[in-house]
Amino acid sequence: MSVFRRREGFQYLWTDSPVSTLIIILNLLMFLVTLITGGFSSLNLIQLGGLFPPLVTENGEYYRLLTTMFLHGSTFHLIGNLLIGIFVLSTALERLIGSLKFATIYFGSGLIASLVILYANPTALSIGASGAIYGVLGALLYVTIYRKDKVNISDISSIRGLIVINIIFTFLYPNVSIAGHIGGMIGGFLLSYLLIKRNVVEIIN
């Protein structure tokens, strides 16, 4: 059975992927707050907790490393992250490895991405869940290498193909944080190496 196949219905979404469901709800709530408080202007996004490095390094506002994961710069940005990054990929990973490990990888990757951005782009405003979502991609890549017993051949091809597409997208699409995306993906892979037990048979093969 495909790792992306899930039971239909919101009640099963909450039962099978509670952390991902909560992330979706929080992102939607912050989207509404963004609209109510002034929209997608840089000033408003900074006020709501966007990652603006000078405020972290000079003012010690370290909470921005986390809060930036729940903000988006446009409706399209939000929909893209929620539909593919969280509703499809994150829920699949959570069902695969469990909620605790998923939460550690998702938020850990997001924080790693924020730290990389902090030093790679020290003057630019960065927002979005992309660093954490690329961490999910890194974790899924790990699974296709070390835990092939958990995914079928079709899933392996889909995951690796999606990763290639997203890496190309990262370097070609304007206004994308290359540091955040690559930092998040590497962070997700490394955290998976620490958290997800490797299959000895796959390693030998």
Domain ranges of the chain: 10-204
What tens digit of pLDDT does each residue of 140-178 get?
Answer: 999 999 999 999 999 999 999 999 999 999 999 888 899
Per-residue pLDDT, 200:
52
- Return the CATH class of domain 10-204: mainly alpha
What tens digit of pLDDT does each residue of 95-122 get?
Answer: 999 999 999 999 999 999 999 999 999 9
Report helix, strand or coil for 99.
helix
Active site residue ranges: 130, 181
- Whether the pLDDT of residue 203 is over 50: the answer is no
Share of the chain above pLDDT 90, in %: 86
Cα end-to-end distance, the chain, whole Å = 23
**Could you give the count of Cα atoms lying within 13 Å of 203 in the half-sphere of its Cβ?**
5
d(CA 48, CA 64): 9
Instruction: Give the pLDDT band (50/70/90) at residue 204.
Output: very low
Give one word for 67, left, alpha or beta, with left for phi > 0 and alpha for psi -120 to 50. alpha
